[in-house]
Amino acid sequence: MSNAQNSELASRLIYLLKRTQAQMENLNDRALAPIGINSRELAVLIAIAGGEPTSQQQLAERLGVDRTTMVALLDMLEGKGIVSRHPHSDDRRRNIVELTDKGNNTLENGVLASNQAEHTLLGSLSPEAATALRESLRTIVNHPTRLR
Amino acid sequence: MSNAQNSELASRLIYLLKRTQAQMENLNDRALAPIGINSRELAVLIAIAGGEPTSQQQLAERLGVDRTTMVALLDMLEGKGIVSRHPHSDDRRRNIVELTDKGNNTLENGVLASNQAEHTLLGSLSPEAATALRESLRTIVNHPTRLR
DNA sequence: TATTGTTATACTCTATAACTATA
DNA sequence: TATAGTTATAGAGTATAACAATA
């Protein structure tokens, strides 16, 4: 029985992944609350900061959401004074999205808070197991699943 | 830098967990489609089969969903002829939920299909890494996170 | 015509509140 | 009164379709 798997709910991979992800999101949200953002918004900030100045549509692609969803996300962040939008000078259809000074500060504190949340989630694992977990997840995500 | 973490989206734990979970659910759903159920419904079948005959409310607790959500899930499964409901003889307020013969067959095939989906998800990992991943997730889920 | 951002709308998922039948 | 199941309803979250501005 090299590939032993039973049918208990608690041992199904989908159950373990869902529960772990929910726990991570909960820890993240609580760590970020004092900063005034949630997990989702931190992801947007990271995506904005992670490359060249970007249009809303490019940002939506990076994050894997619809452009209409992106509008609502940016409305919220702009309302908080964390991001700014202004039309691209060469193509005025596009909105270039950038972090404000406050936004850069929020990003910095947000990443630190999220690091702490990750540390808490992994607290029951040895450092080696924690590293291995992260690496295995990265391998799975980067390995395109054959859609047979 | 023993705890090195950068701020790239693709290296955040929450991102890796979300993506992996989504991939697992996708693989599961596709593996289960020919059997006529989805990931969610397989979880219900496993929960039903995993213990004594259960009321809807007990089942909802096991699965971590609201009892009103449970109603809709069971309506669907009953409509497919996979589960049956009948009032408990001692307390006629309760509905005892059981698998039909077809339901037992669906469960058996569903678990096999889901095992295959898990195998596909983990295909890019060594057997040792796959086992370690499963064990680490189990450790995290079973370790109650201190709500400081 | 095509594309970007936006708005209106609809759909899914889920929970809360109210109802019924039983206890 | 309290509980199990049900129904009605509302709230997130997200996508599709239609529209305005620009290319």
Q: How far apart are CA B70 and CA A1, in angstroms?
A: 35
- pLDDT tens digits, one per residue of A35-82: 999 999 999 999 999 888 899 999 999 999 999 999 999 999 999 999
> How would residue A103 be classed by pLDDT, with cut points 50, 70 and 90?
very high
Arithmetic mean of pLDDT over chain B: 92
> How would residue B2 be classed by pLDDT, with cut points 50, 70 and 90?
very low
Note the pLDDT of residue A15.
94
| Overall average pLDDT of the B78-103 stretch | 96
Query: What is the per-residue burial (b if ≥16 Cβ within 10 Å, else e) of A61-92?
Result: ebbebeeeebeebbebbeeeebbeeeeeeeee
Neighbour count for residue B98 (Cβ, 10 Å): 15
- Asked if A31 contacts B145 with a C-beta cutoff of 8 angstroms, the reply is no
- Asked if B133 contacts B124 with a C-beta cutoff of 8 angstroms, the reply is no
* pTM strictly above 0.85: yes
Q: CA-nearest residue of chain B to A138? A: B16
Q: How far apart are CA B53 and CA B103, in angstroms?
A: 14
Note the pLDDT of residue B42.
96
- CATH fold of the domain at B23-114: Arc Repressor Mutant, subunit A (1.10.10)
Task: Among B21, B46, B138, select the one facing A18 at the smallest CB separation.
Answer: B21
Note the pLDDT of residue B104.
97
Contact across the interface for B23 and A140, Cβ inside 8 Å: yes
Task: From residue B97, give the alpha-carbon distance in Å to each of A8, A58, B84, B94.
Answer: 18, 49, 6, 9
Note the pLDDT of residue B8.
87
| Overall average pLDDT of the B51-66 stretch | 93
Torsion angle in degrees (nearest 10) through CA of B95, B100, B64, A13: 170
- Taking 90 as the threshold, does the pLDDT of residue A146 lie above it? no
Note the pLDDT of residue B52.
86
Note the pLDDT of residue A7.
65
For B123, half-sphere exposure in the C-beta direction (CA atoms, 13 angstrom radius) is 14
DSSP chain B: -TT-----GGG-HHHHHHHHHHHHHHHHHHHHGGGT--HHHHHHHHHHHTSS-EEHHHHHHHHT--HHHHHHHHHHHHHTTSEEEEE-SS-TTSEEEEE-HHHHHHHHHHHHHHHHHHHHHGGGS-HHHHHHHHHHHHHHHHSPPP--
Q: Which residue is nearest to nucleotide D17 (CA to C1')?
A: A68
- pLDDT tens digits, one per residue of B104-144: 999 999 999 999 999 999 999 999 999 999 999 999 999 87
List of chain A residues whose C-beta atoms are within 8 Å of the C-beta of residue B140: 20, 23, 121-122, 124-125
B2-16, B79-93, B132-146: segment of lowest average pLDDT: B2-16
Note the pLDDT of residue A147.
54
Note the pLDDT of residue A144.
74
> How would residue B80 be classed by pLDDT, with cut points 50, 70 and 90?
very high
Q: Which residue is nearest to nucleotide D20 (CA to C1')?
A: A93
Q: How far is the CA of B49 from the C1' of D18 (A)?
A: 49
Q: A23-120: which CATH architecture? A: Orthogonal Bundle (1.10)
The share of chain A scoring above pLDDT 70, in percent, equals 93
- Taking 80 as the threshold, does the pLDDT of residue A115 lie above it? yes
Residues in a beta bridge with B87: B95
- Taking 70 as the threshold, does the pLDDT of residue A123 lie above it? yes
Q: How far apart are CA A33 and CA A43, in angstroms?
A: 14
Collect all residues with Cβ–Cβ distance below 8 Å to B52 and sequence separation of at least 6.
Answer: none
Q: Where are the domains of chain B?
A: 23-114
Q: How far apart are CA A117 and CA A27, in angstroms?
A: 5
